[in-house]
Amino acid sequence: MVHRIVRKRPLIPGRTSELVIYAPHIAAKARPGNFVILRVHDKGERIPLTIANVERNDGTITLVYLVLGKTTALLDTLHAGDAILDLCGPLGKPTAIRRRPAPVVCVGGGTGIAAMHHIAKGHRLAGNMVIGIIGARSKDLLLFEPELRLVCHEVLVATDDGSRGRKGLVTALLEERLAGEGRVAEVLAVGPVPMMAAVSEVAGRFGVPCQVSLNAIMLDGIGMCGACRVTVGGETRFACVDGPEFDGAKVDFRELSQRLTAFRPQERHAYEELEKSHVCRCAN
């Protein structure tokens, strides 16, 4: 099975792009909250990426990545027509989506906004009232806002510098919404760990259940290795098969942040070596 890139669209030049990939057998089964594991060359490592969208009729899935290390940098050298060497999925438990009497608030930060899009879309298709709250450091780093406006009833934006929407953090917008009139059934958060921790804290304060999608380090993605283990309510769970979504009130975010640094020196080294060898194909 060859997984060809159908379309590539830069979202933040040089940092973040969207790939639409032909993978009908994954598209047929992928549900909101699922992720894939991919490898881009024959000596490459396996990395997990959350599925940002699925077009079942076209047999495509959409992935959005931030260039953060060697594998994403190499992924970024691929273009429409190129194939992803290994693409495995859909993995993880899908988001628990059911009909809700009150709105669902989906909070996204950074690249997590794209991952959150698929979840918000799932809630919308289930007939729920969906409110999106998204944030980034500045307007230029904000992505997927138009896509979210298509699936959310309302989209609230916050930027650190105030260049778009409210100046400040997504948590401030969430807090206002939760403090305001009308009940909220559930909060979902996808993004950087500190953001998810803060969102969980705010939701908890208002007694609203909050699900977070955890981006733990993974190897096989099918429960074999335990690299992605997280402590949830005092118990060890595997993000790849028990998650990636967990009750934010119970997640040990500090431990998760620490575990994410396990291979930081190696990751940095690999990225620097790559930059030295310069595999950039920007010319085409």
Partner 1 sequence: MPTRSWKKAMSAAAPTEPSRIRPPRTAMPEQPAGQRVGNFDEVALGYTPDMARAEAVRCLACKKPGCVAGCPVGIDIPGFITALAAGDVPRAYAVIRRANSLPAVCGRVCPQESQCERGCVLGLKGEPVAIGRLERYVADTFMADGACAVLTGAAACPPPVAKTRVACIGSGPASLTVAGTLVTRGIAVDVYEALHEPGGVLVYGIPEFRLPKAVVRREIAALKSLCVRFFTNWVGGRTVMVPELLDQGYEAVFIGIGAGLPVFLDIPGESRIGVFSANEYLTRVNLGRAYAFPEWDTPVYPGRRVVVFGAGNVALDAARTAVRLGARSVSIVYRRSENEMPARAEEIRHAREEGVGFVCLHAPVAFGGDAQGRLASVRLQRMRLGEPDASGRCRPVACEGAFCEIEADIAIVAVGTRANPLLPRSTPGLLVNRRGYISVTEATGETTLPMVFAGGDIVTGAATVISAMGAGRRAAEAISRRLLG
Judged by CB under 8 A, which stretch of 168-176, 177-185, 197-205, 253-261 contacts partner 1? 253-261
Distances (CA, A) of 134 to 38, 96, 147, 203: 27, 21, 12, 16
End-to-end CA distance of the chain: 26
Closer residue to partner 1 in complex, CB, 106/256:
256
- Length, in residues, of the chain: 284
Shortest Cβ distance from residue 246 to partner 1 (Å)?
A: 14
For partner 1, what does the binding mask look like between residues 67 and 96, x meaning CB under 8 A? ---xx-------------xxxxxxx-----
Shortest Cβ distance from residue 259 to partner 1 (Å)?
A: 6
* Closest residue by Cα to residue 187 from 150, 165, 213, 224: 213
Distance CA 37, CA 220 (A): 8
3-class secondary-structure state, position 213:
strand
- Residues in contact with partner 1, counted by CB under 8 A, come to a total of 44
Judged by CB under 8 A, which stretch of 36-44, 136-144, 152-160, 189-197 contacts partner 1? 36-44
The per-type count for the chain, helices as H runs and strands as E runs, is 8, 16
Distance CA 202, CA 206 (A): 7
Q: Is 223 in the site for partner 1 (CB under 8 A)?
A: yes
Closer residue to partner 1 in complex, CB, 145/245:
245
Judged by CB under 8 A, which stretch of 8-16, 140-148, 193-201, 268-276 contacts partner 1? 268-276
Judged by CB under 8 A, which stretch of 116-124, 179-187, 200-208, 224-232 contacts partner 1? 224-232
Shortest Cβ distance from residue 135 to partner 1 (Å)?
A: 27
Residue 104: which H helix or E strand, with range?
A: strand 104-109
